[in-house]
Structure 1
């Protein structure tokens, strides 16, 4: 399963039946305390970046929504120094990639972007928000599925393997602090593209 398959799953070929509720951008603020727990209790440091994935629409109004997101983030960059880029991957999915050493500013910028899409009526195009961490054992990500309205851990390892023990430990420590997806079948992997990199790296 490649990145495309993972994103299709997050979007949900069965999107309507998979969806638990409407996406709530305020869910992202759960990461404001989670990053402290990740560091203090689990030994994970933030990689100082995050990403928002969305599916595009070929329409003028959608392009205007994206332009407003960029304008808001540009204004925020002047205030907080949060850097950003809007990119498209090999499969046609779009990403807002944010770089910020202050997790609070990173989360706030992500929230502004999400809220703008929702205000323009494009909340259904939001797929996932990704927050990256690293430890001596390797990388780990908290992925927020907008369709499911929940977070889940993803700990990729070389050879397209997953560190299940690391993921279960992340779940056990952060469940309650984050709304963690209870159905493991929805812990979709977001594997890197063929060049071996994730869009947010």
Structure 2
């Protein structure tokens, strides 16, 4: 199953039809305390990366918006050391991937990027923000924020399948701290394009 086989429905076309409200980048700040809880309660540390996924528009104004996001992140890179890179996947979706060992910087940078899209009138093009975690034993888990649904949900890949027990554990521990999607129909997997990779790779 490719990365966006389900995402088109979960974060794109279907979620747009079932959107609960407009994209609100302020929700992303909830991840700041979630990083602490993930480590203290579940022994998950940040992988040092997070990513913002969006769908592009073939227009000069949208290209200018992406350039503005890049300029903003570049200014932040000089101040905080948060590096970033843009890339397109094989499905035609765009990613901005951020790398920093400081979780607060990751959250702030993703918020700045998302907020810029919203301010420029492209909030509807935002699909998801993805935050990665890893245990010392190598287990990985992700919190995915759906801009179309205005909620987070957990994704725990394990050997080509999903660890449902871990996902429910993540929900039980973080629900209340994060606005967790109550309709599990929208807990779509974001499989990486390569084995062992992150969803944004």
Query: Is TM (by shorter chain) over 0.5?
Result: yes
Q: Write out per-residue CA displacement over residues 97-147 of structure 1, whole angstroms, 9 at most, x where no aligned residue.
A: 000111001100000000000011000000000000011261000000000
Offset of residue 2 of structure 1? 2.1
Moved more, 138-147 or 128-137: 128-137
TM-score (norm 2): 0.95
Q: Write out per-residue CA displacement over residues 71-105 of structure 1, whole angstroms, 9 at most, x where no aligned residue.
A: 00000000000000011111111000000111001
Q: Write out per-residue CA displacement over residues 133-162 of structure 1, whole angstroms, 9 at most, x where no aligned residue.
A: 01126100000000000000000011x200
Aligned counterparts, 1:102-141, within 5 A: 102-135=102-135, 136=137, 138-141=139-142
Whole-angstrom CA distance in 1 between matches of 2:15 and 2:153: 17
Structure 2: unaligned runs, 5 residues or longer: none
Q: Is the 8 A contact 1:132 1:139 kept in 2?
A: yes
Moved more, 2-11 or 126-135: 2-11
TM-score (norm 1): 0.95
Aligned counterparts, 1:64-83, within 5 A: 64-83=64-83
Structure 1: unaligned runs, 5 residues or longer: none
> How many equivalent residue pairs?
200
| Alignment-derived partner of residue 29 in structure 1 | 29
SS at match of 2:20: coil
| Alignment-derived partner of residue 162 in structure 1 | 162
Whole-angstrom CA distance in 2 between matches of 1:163 and 1:149: 24
Q: Does 1:172 align with 2:172?
A: yes
Q: Is the 8 A contact 1:87 1:96 kept in 2?
A: yes
Whole-angstrom CA distance in 2 between matches of 1:34 and 1:75: 26
